[in-house]
Amino acid sequence: MAELGIMFSGAFLAATLLPGGSEVLLIALLSNSPEAWGALVITASIGNTLGAMTSFYIGHLARLAKTPAELSSGKHTKGLALIEHYGVWALLLSWAPVIGDVLCLLAGWLKLPLIPSILMMLIGKTIRYLIIAAAVLQWLT
């Protein structure tokens, strides 16, 4: 199904540091194929999580370029405070506009454990897509 490929690509790119809105894409695809809601939500969640993992990895590599002092005094102080206070649990907000990408990047920079980080990202992103899908399906009926 071509829709799943489009959904995966859109969700992946939206989760990286590139701008994009996978929510609008999900709404459009659900409007055309409401019966495919489960496959679309799963595909969007996986694609978006893999995109967030890309940011996580970039953050891991950025550790070589930024010292802790440089990072804590920069524009990432709110995200850094969230991660330092809540640890991997902060990644439940990885879906949130603006701060989500920063949280994933900082989680990699701080070398948070990979598996728990992936799980928190996946859970947060899946819940977001489930809420959007439920709202669209309710609106369509």
Helix (H) or strand (E) holding 117: helix 114-140
DSSP state for residue 34 in the 8-state scheme: G
Q: Is the pLDDT of residue 134 over 90?
A: yes
Q: Tokens 């709110």 — which residue? A: 78
CA separation for the pair 77, 69 (Å, rounded): 11
Percent of the chain at pLDDT > 90 equals 67
pLDDT in tens, 115-125: 999 999 999 99
Q: How far apart are the first and last CA of the chain?
A: 24
Report pLDDT for 16.
Answer: 79
Report pLDDT for 71.
Answer: 65
Q: What is the largest CA-CA distance in the chain?
A: 54
**Contact present, 111 and 6 (Cβ < 8 Å):** no
Q: How confident is the model at residue 77 (pLDDT cuts 50, 70, 90)?
A: confident
Q: Which two tokens stand for residue 48?
A: 């978006």
Q: Is the pLDDT of residue 108 over 90?
A: yes
**Contact present, 20 and 13 (Cβ < 8 Å):** yes
DSSP state for residue 18 in the 8-state scheme: S
Q: How confident is the model at residue 64 (pLDDT cuts 50, 70, 90)?
A: confident
Reference 17, options 61, 64, 72; nearest CA is 61
Average pLDDT in the 36-48 region?
96
Average pLDDT in the 16-40 region?
88
Q: Is the pLDDT of residue 81 over 90?
A: no
Q: How confident is the model at residue 18 (pLDDT cuts 50, 70, 90)?
A: low
Quick check: pTM over 0.85?
yes
Mean pLDDT of the chain: 90
CA separation for the pair 30, 103 (Å, rounded): 29
